[in-house]
Amino acid sequence: MAKRKYNRRSDEQLIEDLQTKIQKVQERLESKQRKDSPVLKKLSNIERTLRNFAQLSLDHDRPDLANMVTAFLAGLRRAADEGGRDMPVRRSSSRSDIEL
């Protein structure tokens, strides 16, 4: 019977693994604290539905629709990940600040 070969991880590897775990937990905590959390929860359902639609359109020889849906999903995911950080500031509709 052959001996088992054990690969022990070095201390640096253990530290690196623990740091990645900590980072994942911190990201999860941040996502829970976001104000738009209910929107993000629904987003996964919508993404799944749109992916299914893209696959259906490919199955029925409509790659144009599949490409549009895929591009839309990429933009939607990017916007959701940014979290509204780059949202434009709304100005009031009053024209008192305009000089003629």
pLDDT per residue as tens digits for the range 31-57: 777 766 778 778 889 999 999 999 999
Q: How far is CA 93 from CA 83, 88, 89, in A?
A: 26, 15, 13
Mean pLDDT across 68-72: 95
The answer to whether the beta carbons of residues 69 and 54 sit under 8 Å apart is: yes
Does residue 91 sit in helix, strand or coil?
coil
How many whole angstroms separate alpha carbon 8 and alpha carbon 57?
A: 49
Q: What pLDDT is attached to residue 90?
A: 59
Does this model's pTM top 0.85? no
